[in-house]
Amino acid sequence: MRRESRQAAIRRKRQAAKRRRIRLRRLLTAFVLFWIGFGALYLYNYITHPYCVAIDAGHGGADVGAVGIINEVELTEATTEELVKLLKDDGRFRILQTREKGETMDINHRCIQLRKWQPDVMISIHGNADDRGLGRGFECYPSVPGSQNYEKSMAFAHALTQQMQNQGHSLRGIDGIRFGYYVPSENGLQKWMAESTDTTVYDYDTFGVLKKLDGAAVLVEQCFVTNAADVSNFGTAEGCKKAAEAYYAAILEYLELDATQS
């Protein structure tokens, strides 16, 4: 009797072990199938959307940016929304945003995201301001001379200035393209802007969103939020839409894509 009990116990243990092995195999099969499906979906998305565009809407949340006739953040978010629509309608782009509308996001986290993504094109959208309300026009800041993506960024910057001119905007400085640096001074770091003709490789820091990227990276100052004419032309809902159309056209031009193929 005891022998039969021991045999029954052994059978139960073997059956329990078998059931565990079956459950484990099913879990492993489900895991493998999940990652095969995920990989196939990722590959499909990569093939059908071969170009990656990152959009950084300046400021956000509690940080409204420059204050003028409108707040800077209103301009950056409205323009970003219109640009995202254009890129989505095109269908060839993977679109990455450093933050959502209304979200507060510090510069360090934005930079971490951008360096992780390594997009083909990055545009950081901002608005300009001055105390007297006289400043106006468009300017942009590509990655500075000496950076690994300098040539790509300059090509994209030239496309941006041309497209904004096509929309009727004026360019600041020599050609609307400048380099931005942070220069040490007695009062700490101060911003210093160099014209595009100054291709000296300086040992100064630059805007964080432009650093350590492989693809083209440009920060744009769309218009002056302190200037009524600028806001009327490129800060209203219709004006932000015009700017987004210029940015979209510049992206296509830089990537040498045909707008009719979208």
The per-residue pLDDT for range 98-140, each reduced to its tens digit, is: 999 999 999 999 999 999 999 999 999 999 999 999 999 999 9
Instruction: Report the candidate in 94, 90, 84 with the shortest Cα–Cα distance to residue 50.
Output: 94
- Cα–Cα dist 210/115, whole Å: 10
Over residues 158-172, the mean pLDDT reads: 98
* Predicted pLDDT at 252: 98
* Predicted pLDDT at 42: 45
Average pLDDT, the chain: 91
Confidence of residue 44 (pLDDT cuts 50, 70, 90): very low
Burial of 239 (0-12, 13-18, 19+ CB in 10 A): buried
Query: Do 48 and 210 meet the contact criterion of CB atoms below 8 Å apart?
Result: no
* Predicted pLDDT at 7: 73
* Predicted pLDDT at 262: 60
Weakest-pLDDT range from 10-19, 70-79, 116-125: 10-19
* Predicted pLDDT at 32: 62
Over residues 21-50, the mean pLDDT reads: 63
Over residues 251-260, the mean pLDDT reads: 91
